[in-house]
Amino acid sequence: MTNRPPFKEVRHTFCAIRDPRSSIRNPPPPFCSRPRDRPHFLPTGRSQPSRVPRLHGMERASKNVELDGVKSGLWSGKDDVKFRTIDPSDGKINKASLYKLMISGVTPRPVGFISSISSEGQTNLAPFSYFNIACHDPPMLMVSINHPEPDKPKHTCDFILQTKNFTTNIISEPFVDAANYTSIDAPKGVSEWALSGLTPKKSDTIDAPRVGESGFSMECELEHHYPIHNDNKDRTSTIIIGRIKRFHVRDDLIDDSLLVDTERLLPVSRLGGITYGRTREVYETPRPVWEKEKERDEVKKILGSDGKAKV
């Protein structure tokens, strides 16, 4: 790792999406106010691991002074750093504000591109960022689907509960615009597949098709679902837990050990608002091993004579 370039601070730069569409729903300024003024989306550039932003010494108050806000003490953990405490049960805070708070604070998030099918054979395709893997033995994933109105689930949720199966597909940069178009608020009966131009591929074990353009797809059977109710007893969301029955990984993206090449997969992540992130600059940080760390003089000093750290 010593031959890698040093970690450097990078500011966010907003770029215009390729082939921007004019009819953008709910464009929060300034993101959509002048997309043509932004630099073009650059398809080139490869992820290059850099050295970890390492602490200077073992002291807990020590931080990488090259990063923004460190010298001024914003990352010190001291009492003089101001925080805003937010109570979600405060009646003065509306649910839209809580939504903005959570999706902008809990980032980055992977995007689950969910394909589902109804008991009548109608298909649906939509992206969800309340999504992640849950277990590898057995392989499980979860997605939380918010309801547009209390007790009125989205088509995806409705279809999954009907047929007990769905596919989850990872969105990559080459088709991110088409994937985003499936988030359109189309009425029931309108196919997001046709609108987006994406390719449905037959699954091996379930009825719901997978996305042909996706380099990483999972066929899932419904393992469990959990309805979420707000303080008014309205059902506002449903957590779906799916058991993965098949993985489909493009051959050039995976090695013999089943490790997926993120650099080639080009996955996108969801940030706040309508902002998305690219996985291009990465760094590696090895996990400490206790049997080795406990013998270091710096660690012994922190632990003290009784071998226990003082908090």
Using an 8 Å Cβ cutoff, are 299 and 293 in contact?
yes
pLDDT computed for residue 227 by the predictor = 96
CA distance 90 to 94: 9
Q: For residue 288, which of 299, 277, 303, 297 has the smallest C-alpha distance?
A: 299
pLDDT computed for residue 151 by the predictor = 80
pLDDT computed for residue 18 by the predictor = 46
Q: Which two tokens stand for residue 92?
A: 């003065």
Name residue 267's amino acid.
P
Q: How do residues 212-226 score in pLDDT, each as one tens digit? A: 999 999 999 999 999
Place of tokens 């760390």: 293
Place of tokens 């931080």: 63
Q: Edge to edge, what strands does the sheet with 235-249 contain?
A: 123-128, 112-117, 165-170, 216-229, 235-249, 139-146, 131-136
Using an 8 Å Cβ cutoff, are 182 and 195 in contact?
yes
- The domain ranges of the chain are 84-279
pLDDT computed for residue 29 by the predictor = 41
Pure H helices in 208-293: 262-265, 290-293
pLDDT computed for residue 81 by the predictor = 79
Helix (H) / strand (E) containing 169:
strand 165-170
Using an 8 Å Cβ cutoff, are 218 and 135 in contact?
no
Q: What is the DSSP letter of 219?
A: E
pLDDT computed for residue 22 by the predictor = 43
Which residues of the chain fall below pLDDT 50? 7, 9-10, 18-34, 55-58, 60-61
pLDDT computed for residue 148 by the predictor = 87
Q: Which two tokens stand for residue 137?
A: 């033995």
CA distance 260 to 198: 23
CA atoms within 13 Å, Cβ hemisphere of 275 = 19
pLDDT computed for residue 6 by the predictor = 54
Residue 92 zone, left/alpha/beta (φ > 0; ψ -120 to 50; rest)? alpha
Please give the angle made by the CA atoms of 240, 273 and 87, to the nearest 5 degrees. Answer: 75
CA atoms within 13 Å, Cβ hemisphere of 172 = 19
Q: How do residues 268-285 score in pLDDT, each as one tens digit? A: 999 988 899 998 777 788
CA distance 249 to 218: 9
Task: Specify the pTM.
Answer: 0.80
84-279 placed in CATH 2.30.110.10: yes
